[in-house]
Structures are given as C-alpha cells and as structure tokens.
Chain A
Amino acid sequence: MIAEAGHYALVLALALALIQSFVPMIGARLRDSALMNVARSTALAQLVFVGASFIALVTLHVNSDFSVANVYENSHSMKPLIYKITGVWGNHEGSMLLWVSILALFGGLVAAFGNNLPLSLRAHVLAVQAWIASAFYLFILITSNPFLRIVNPPIEGRDLNPVLQDIGLAVHPPMLYLGYVGFSISFSFAIAALIEGRIDAAWARWVRPWTLVAWIFLTLGIAMGSYWAYYELGWGGWWFWDPVENASLMPWLAGTALLHSALVMEKRNALKVWTILLSILTFSLSLLGTFLVRSGVITSVHAFANDPTRGVFILLILCLFIGGSLSLFAGRATSLKQGGLFAPISREGALVLNNLLLTVACAVVLFGTLYPLAMEVLADFKMSVGAPFYNLSFVPLFVLLLLAVPFGPMLAWKRGDLLGVTQRLLAAGVAGLVVIAIVWAWTRGGSALAPLAIGLGVFVIAGAATDLAERTGLFRLPFATTLRRARGLPRSAWGTVFAHAGLGVALIGIVCETTWNTEYIATMKPNDVAQVAGYDLKLDGLLERQGPNYREMIAQFNVSRDGEALSVMTPSKRSFTTRGSSTTEAALLTRGASQLYISLGDVTAEGAIAVRIYHKPLVLMIWWGPVLMAFGGVLSLSDRRLRVGAPKPARAKQRLQPAE
C-alpha cells in the first residue's frame, strides 16, 4: 500500500500542478484575489503530496521492498541503513523524485513566506513554478517512474553501485539539487516580471533571498562533490573538467553573476536586462546540467543511470523552457523601464565587468563541454576537451576577474575614483608582492607562475580586508569608533568580505596543490617503508575484514616524521559480491591544511601491494575557500535589512552612461 499510495500522491501532485499552472494566471489577469490565491494553497498541497511520495519511496527502500523495481535494482537487504536511505537518490528515478521534491519545497516556501510579495507577482511566480513542475512530474511518471512494481518479487536486490555507498551521497546530491532547483525561483520571478512587464528595485529585493539560498547550496554542493571525488575515486584529483562537473560549474558562474547584478538592481535600480537575462540563463544551465547527466549523451563517473530515450524528453523540456523564456525576453525586454545611470568607473561599472567576465568564462566552459559532443554527433569524431583547454581559456579570464575583485567593493556607486581606490589598495598589493618574493625565494622550484598566483590570492584576501578596514575606519579613527562601526556594519558587508576572501583562499589551495604535490607509486611488501615529503610510511601488514555487504582488505601504514610516530593510516579495498565490483577507500591524514593520501592498487602474486601515496600541501584550502564563500552568503542572507546604494554626488558635471 505504501508503494501505491506514494505513486498516487505523485499523480495528484501533477494534477495540482496543472491547475496551479493556469488558474492563478487567469486570476492575475482578472485581478481576482481568490483565483490568485489558488496558487498558494495548491503549491502547499503539492509540497505535501510530493513529500509524501518521497517519504514513501524512502520507506520502501528502508523496508527493502523488492516488489518495487527501483528498490530491487538499487538496494540490498544487507546494506547499512544510511545507504538504504541515500540509495533513494543514488539512482536515476529516485534522484528525479528528489529533484521535484526540492522544486515543490521551494514552491511551498514561496507560498508560505511570500507574504511581502504583491498578490499578482506571487500568483505569476507560482504559476511558472507549476509549469516547470508539471513538465518534470510528467517526465518522471512516463519515462522514469520509481514506483513500478514487480509481480513476483525477487528475494534479494541488486545493491547500489559501490562507489556511491559513501556518506558523500548523503550530502552532495541534495545540496547540489537545492542549488540547481533553487535557481528555478529566480527564473520564475524573471518570467513573472516579464509577463507583468514590471521590474524594479523592489523586485530585486524580493528575489534576493531565493537567489542567495540557491547560490549557497550550489557552492557547497560543488565543493562537496569535488571533495568526494578526491577521496573516493582514489586518484587524488579534485576537479576533472568532467562534463558533469562543468554542468554544475556553469550555473554557479551564471548564478554568481546574477547575485551581483540583482544587488545592483536592488540598490541602484540599474542592470535590469542583465538581471533578467542571467536569471533565465542560470536556470537554463541548471536544466542543461540535468539533461547532460540524465540523458546519457555523455559518459562520466556520474552516468550511473542513463537512457537515451529519456534524453529526448528532457531535451524537449529544455527547448520548451529555454526557447520560451528567451522569446518572451526578446519580446518584452525593450519595454523594461530604463534604470539608473552611472559612469563607467563606478561600482555599477565594476559589476558589469564582473558579469562580463563571469558570463564569458561560463561560455568558455559551455563550449568546452558541448564542442566534443557536437563533433561526435556531426563529424563522428571522438575527442575530449581537458585541462589544457581550460588552462588557456578559463584561467586567464579568472585571473583578470580576481585582479578586479578587490576594486569592486571599494568603488563608489554611480561615479567612482579609480586612482583613489588604487591608492587604498596599495597595501594589499604590497602584501601580495611580498608574498610572491618570499615564496619565490623559499621554493626555487616548480612553475614560475605559482608564486605569482599565490601573490594574487593574497592580494584578493588582503583586498577584502582593506575594504573592511576602510569601512570601519581602522587605523584612521580611534579604536573604539572602529569597533562601534564594525558592529553597525550591515552583515551583508561582512558577507562580501568573507566571500571574496574565500576566492583567494581557494586559489592559494589550488596553486599549492597542483604545483607542489608529491606522488609516490610503488609495490610495497609488509615492512617496506616509503618516504614521501619528509614522512616515513611503513606498511605493517595486510588484513581482511568482513563488512555488512562487502569484504575488505585493509593495509595498515604507520606514519612517522623524523622518527616520531604520528598516526596509523588504513586505506582499504572493498569488494562487493552482489555487483561483483570493488572500490578503493583512500586513507587521509590531515596535517594543518595539508594532507597525506594513500590509495591501494592490486595485490601481486608475491603478496606485495601496489600503493599510491600523495602528499598534497595546503589541499584543504581548496574547500575551505568555498565554505568561506558560502558562510559569506549565509551572513548576507541573515541580513534582513534593505539594501541601499547611496550614490556619490557629482562634484563637477560628468557625462553619464545609460545603464545598459
């Protein structure tokens, strides 16, 4: 009964979404409050039904009900409880159900907490949400139904892909989906604004928290996914320019640009066209990501369930929404009211530059992702675009962006003084140069670019600190005043500082890891000692252990440095009988921000084992950076105050540029 009730709940959610798709639209046209309010109750009811459906699927997985095909194919009665639950979204059907559940969650949140929205805007936003929801409910029910049954249920399931039997699966997909799907709200707001023909600073105020939430989760989701790949795949790599990683990076780049231009719109009523276009673009890229992962057009580590027939359906949804929204945009963009004016050198101008760099970087990634696909389809020619391409195209763009980041927040609104800002950033620049010199002198090895890049990272961090010092009047005013001003500073300003500093932190981590990472690959026998980056790793022995649904071979390493014993590391290889496959569980030893990393290969006939040992200096900073960025986002989100960008009054007559 649980299975069928869950199935029916999903069907009812579709029926409600269909009603929500157009009844509120008619209501908004007639200005009838009851019809408009239908959006609210149906959105909440949809959340209840999809939630029930999702809980039903979780229950089925937990109870190991193999009369449900999805459970049979992806679960096993011996699996630990946590993986029974996470296994729900460790497969195509379940992950799509999670996708719509989060979509319904966001719709429900707008319905529940959207009291500050004008009635017609809320009705339109929820109606657009319902269009998206209807399309995906149909997709799930028709092509990837998780509730299909097996008449003669088998006694045991086929188990979950062992690579996915990890705590990472509990965190990475839900976070990523909260990010992807969260951007559907800004999309809906943009479409609603285009339909109503009204867009202004108030609109940006209303859409701000939703965009921020989505951005925070996407940032954390990508970082988490990268860390997961780092420790689970056993190669010590943390970013592969895999099409699926790109698919999550693209919405992040566009979403970051959206976040910044929505800010300009709220504060200064400018950059309207940018904001609308970026809202559409960000969600379109999220949909594209879904298409790339779910259709099977690409083969990657994520292709745990793909099927070309589903691809056609998603492609259809993709064309409908991207095509439809862009045509609406083309038709309505000209009617948008002209926004505020600003000089090219100003905070607004800096943010336009930021948008330009981010969207071009996004376009580069898009090109790198789709070009090989296009070549394969059109010219029947297999190729892959990897790190060299992105190093030549994406990296220079980001270097430019990072150079500009400290300038942005310090320029005044409307008209800025570049020379003045440069002077104030002098200290940060000097800090960067000093670090370059120190690193250069210290290492004398590796790439000549590495010290420069580290200097850039330091410049970004110091720039963020300078901005804070300027705002609080540190060193200029008495300390007590500074403290008072720091307390009075809006939390969003603190958020900016943390988020920008996070960029610098991540950059330093990336450069250190790629330049000075040491690698040791060998076959070791018990009592052999490997020396890596000053550490001595002694292989004590190999032992076997029986896990709940796997057998495990553990290698035990004693780690010491200069004769002083530090720790014991136990990398292992697990073999899963049901799927007949095995995984490598790397062992990590964290020392400050650096890590030692051991992963096992095969055992040779003589009882020796192949091992890969890496020392990765400052590698953790790669993920601390995004966490810092997300923390900045949370600070900014917690700031309920209105955002006002006070313009710098004109001293002399200056020629102003139109906003777009």
Chain B
Amino acid sequence: MTLWFVFALMTVAAIFAVLWPLGRGARPDNQGSEVAVYKDQLAEIERDLAAGLIALPEAEAARVEISRRLLAAAGSESGLVLTSSLKWRRAAAVLALVGLPLVAAAIYVPLGSPALRDFPLAQRERGAGSGMAQSLENLVVQVQQHLEKNPTDGRGWNVLAPVLERLGRFDEAVRAYRSSITYNGESAERRSDLGEAITAAASGVVTAEAKTEFERAHALNADDPKANYFLGLAAEQDGRKDDAANIWRALLAKAPADAPWRPLVQTSLARVGGGVTMPALSDETIAASKEMNDGDRNAMVRGMVERLATRLKQNGDDVEGWLRLVRAYLVMGDRDKAQAASTDARQAIAKDSERLRRLNEGLKTLGLDG
C-alpha cells in the first residue's frame, strides 16, 4: 500500500512540474538577449585597450564591427513581443493532468513488479523464512561462502562435493573433491570419487587424469569397487574388451551378493560379452561376427564402417548414421577419425538446426566436445 502511495506522490510532483510555469502570469521574465552580449563585447574592448592587450587602431576596427552586429540584433529583436495563449496553456495543463499519469501507467504496469518486496542482503541474513526459496542451490551457496572463509574445513568439502556432483556441476565437484583430499587426507574412496567426478565432467569418458585417480585408489585398496568398475570401463573405452571383462568378472566374484552396484557391472560385462562385441553395429552383424575368427571379424567390421562412411558422404542427413559412425571409430580406438567424422557430420547438417542439436547431444554423450 505504501508503494502505491509513493507512486501517487511522485506522479503529483511530476504533474506539478508541468503546471507550475503554466500557472504563473505573463510577468516579464529575465531573459538574455543578443543585444546584451554585444554590449558586453564593446565593454570588453575598452578593458583590453586599457590593459594594453590590443592597439588603438585594432580596437577601433573591432568597435565598428560589433556596433554593426549590435544594430542588426536590436532591429530583429524589437519585433518580438511575448503573447499569452490561454487556449494552448489549458491544453498543456490537461495533457499534464491526464496524459502524464496515463502514459506512466501504460508503461509501468506491463514492466514493473509492484507486488515484489525488496530483498536486501541484511534482511536475508536475519531470517531465512522470509519467503526466500531455500533451494538446494542456495544451501550450496551458503556452504561455499563458509568454505571461502575457512578453506581448510575438510568436512565442509566432504559434504559439498557429492551435492555439486548431483547438481551436475562436475567441474566444481572435481575441485571440491580435490580440496577434500587435501584437507582430509587421501583414501581409496575419495580418490575414486574424484575420478568419477572427472569422468562425469568429461561426459562419461574415463580420461587419463581420471584413470590415474582410479589407479591410485586401486593401489590404496585393491578391492575398491568403484575404482575397479571404472578401470574396467577405461579398458573398454580403450578397446581392450578382454581386459575389461576380466576386471569386471573379478569384481563380481569378490562382490557381496547384495551389493547395489552388481546389476550395473553385470550389464557392463554383458555389453563386452566374451570380450568380442562392437557395440556400434546392429545385432545381426554381431550375431554374424560371432562365428568368425578375430582377423575376419575385424576386416568385416572395418568394411562395414567404411560402407557407412561412404553412404553418409553421399547422403549426410542421417543423424543416427553419423553417431553410429563416430561411435564405431571411438570403439576402434581411432579418436582422430571420430573427430573428423563429427566435423563432417556438423558440416553436412549445418542447415538443419533441429538435427544439429540432436547430433551435438549425441556427440556429447559419446564424450566428444564435452
């Protein structure tokens, strides 16, 4: 309510600013004129002459020139008399009384948010219950502020890191895990958590940096399930299916029967099968390839990949095709070719923004352009 009262007062003040001069009578105003300027200039010449700044003949010439201007100005000014037009003054007054509030309202109402109160920092710190959304993000900010002041609080980093990871802020999570290790000391669990965050930040690719962390965790505790799982994944992504399968098999063998991550490892193991699949290709192909020996299989896969590449070169509209090709190259361990293919793909469908979006998403999940 106060706000509307303030608005009303301000509007009245604005209207008054327009009405005030209109209300004053047509009394002669003090105003400057050209004549005054030229008279001053003539006086100036006398002063300069007296100070010895200009010589007499020059002063004389200047006097003549200015007098000429003075006469001209006096002639043109004498014809101007002030009038007063009551009709127009009334129109202006109406404009101020009606037009001004209307314009102000018409502009303010769609833009302003009169229902919102101010939220200065001081008030926010006094009480959280003041309608401020206590969202997870705000809590994170509070913890971050606390840690900014006390960066050695290891427990704080321990709490913050997983939350950040869950919120999808992987880069910050990586930093938080690092600080946690610095201030809490290292453990297999923290190392593998850090590795996981790095992997997540790289969109699921176990980078060399992440792998180092898992290896450290593994060195600290050879049975750490997370480290083992990701080391297997690293092997898979490097194209070493057999190694991956071996790691995961060993992990499952040692795992308690009710471990919540069992299904995940089993699925992964199934994915690498007997250590023979190329996930890029369709089921029939995989079925067919199962009957071949290694050399033949590789030759077949390469042939198919090449056929796919040629087809896409002629008709580049197929987003899924491109993604399959990139994935195939990645699985074959040929990252350069994968990069090149994704560049080609972008060029091929650059005109179609919807497809481009799908492509970019797909590439992201593959760990390119993370």
Contact = CB atoms under 8 A, between A and B. Distances in A.
Interface of A: 1-5, 7-9, 11-12, 14-16, 18-19, 23, 26-27, 30-35, 37-38, 40-42, 44-45, 48-49, 60, 63-67, 77-78, 115-119, 122, 141, 145, 147-149, 151-156, 198, 200-202, 205-206, 269, 340, 471, 485, 488-490, 577, 641-649
B119 A65 contact: yes
23 contacts: A4-B116, A8-B112, A11-B104, A16-B18, A19-B18, A23-B95, A32-B88, A34-B89, A35-B89, A35-B92, A38-B92, A49-B10, A60-B120, A115-B32, A141-B107, A152-B135, A155-B138, A156-B144, A201-B38, A340-B65, A489-B53, A643-B44, A644-B41
A73 to B, nearest CB: 15
A649 B111 contact: no
* CB-CB nearest 8 A-B residue pairs: A45-B17, A63-B120, A116-B32, A37-B21, A488-B51, A64-B121, A202-B34, A646-B62
Interface in B59-115: 59-62, 65-66, 69, 73, 76, 80-85, 88-89, 92, 95-96, 99-100, 103-104, 107-108, 111-114
A491 B59 CA distance: 20
B118 A488 contact: no
B48 interface: yes
B299 interface: no
Contacts of B108: 7-8, 11
Given A34-B22, A41-B18, 10 more contacts: A3-B116, A4-B113, A12-B100, A37-B29, A45-B13, A67-B119, A119-B82, A141-B111, A155-B141, A202-B37
A22 to B, nearest CB: 10
B37 A642 contact: yes
Given A35-B89, A154-B141, A155-B141, A30 B32 contact: no
A32 B89 contact: yes
A122 B32 CA distance: 10
A349 B45 CA distance: 23
Tell me the interface secondary structure of chain B in the complex.
helix
A612 to B, nearest CB: 28
**What's the interface size class on B, roughly?**
35 or more
Contact of A5 (B3, B14, B32, B133): B3
Given A11-B108, A649-B60, A649-B61, A19 B80 contact: no
A621 B278 CA distance: 71
A400 to B, nearest CB: 30
B146 to A, nearest CB: 12
Contacts of B44: 641-644
Contacts of A60: 118, 120
Interface string B27-49: 00111111011101101110110
Contacts of A148: 111, 113
A4 B112 contact: yes
Contacts of A14: 103-104, 107
A177 to B, nearest CB: 24
Contact of B111 (A18, A49, A67, A145): A145
A154 B138 contact: yes
A11 B14 CA distance: 11
Contacts of B61: 646-649
B2 interface: yes
Given A30-B85, A38-B22, A644-B44, A7 B14 contact: no
A118 B34 contact: yes
Nearest to B23: A34
A350 B320 CA distance: 74
A30 B88 contact: yes
B118 A65 contact: yes
B122 interface: yes
Contact of B114 (A4, A19, A35, A41): A4
B33 A118 contact: yes
A490 to B, nearest CB: 8
Contacts of B119: 65-67, 153
A155 B69 CA distance: 68
Interface of B: 2-3, 6-7, 10-11, 13-14, 17-18, 20-24, 26, 29-34, 36-38, 40-41, 43-45, 47-48, 51-54, 57-62, 65-66, 69, 73, 76, 80-85, 88-89, 92, 95-96, 99-100, 103-104, 107-108, 111-114, 116-122, 124, 132-133, 135, 137-138, 141-142, 144-145, 148
Contacts of B41: 201, 642, 644
A546 B110 CA distance: 45
A115 B111 contact: no
A6 B328 CA distance: 60
Contacts of A65: 118-121
Contact of A202 (B31, B53, B73): B73
Contacts of A42: 17-18
By CB atoms of chain B within 10 A, which of A4, A200, A205 has the most? Answer: A4
Which of A32, A67, A118, A646 has the largest number of chain B CB atoms within 10 A? A646
Contacts of A642: 37, 40-41, 43-44
B59 A646 contact: yes
A176 to B, nearest CB: 29
A112 B142 CA distance: 50
Contacts of B95: 19, 23
B116 A646 contact: no
A201 B73 CA distance: 10
Which of A63, A644, A648 lies at the interface centre, i.e. has the most chain B CB atoms within 10 A of its CB? A644
Contact of B36 (A26, A32, A116): A116
Contacts of B81: 31
Nearest to A9: B10
A156 B141 contact: yes
A548 to B, nearest CB: 10
Contacts of B121: 63-66, 77
A200 B118 contact: no
A424 B103 CA distance: 65
Contacts of B37: 201-202, 205-206, 642
A5 B17 contact: no
Given A35-B85, A119-B31, A154-B137, A1 B3 contact: yes
A9 B100 CA distance: 13
A198 B73 CA distance: 10
Contacts of B135: 152
Contacts of B24: 34, 37
B163 to A, nearest CB: 15
A149 B111 CA distance: 10
Contacts of B88: 26-27, 30, 32, 35
A489 B2 CA distance: 60
B83 A32 contact: yes
A149 B103 contact: no
Given A1-B6, A202-B73, A649-B60, A15 B29 contact: no
Contact of A1 (B2, B26, B47): B2
Contacts of A648: 58, 61
A645 B58 CA distance: 9
A53 to B, nearest CB: 11
Nearest to B40: A642
Contacts of A489: 53
Contacts of A471: 53
Contacts of A1: 2-3, 6, 117-118
A117 B89 CA distance: 23
Contacts of B120: 60, 63-65
A19 B96 contact: yes
A49 B144 CA distance: 40
Contacts of B62: 644-647
Nearest to B100: A15
A49 B137 CA distance: 37
Given A115-B32, A488-B52, A40 B107 contact: no
Contacts of A8: 7, 10, 104, 108, 112
Nearest to A59: B120
B17 A44 contact: yes
A117 B31 contact: yes
Nearest to A142: B111
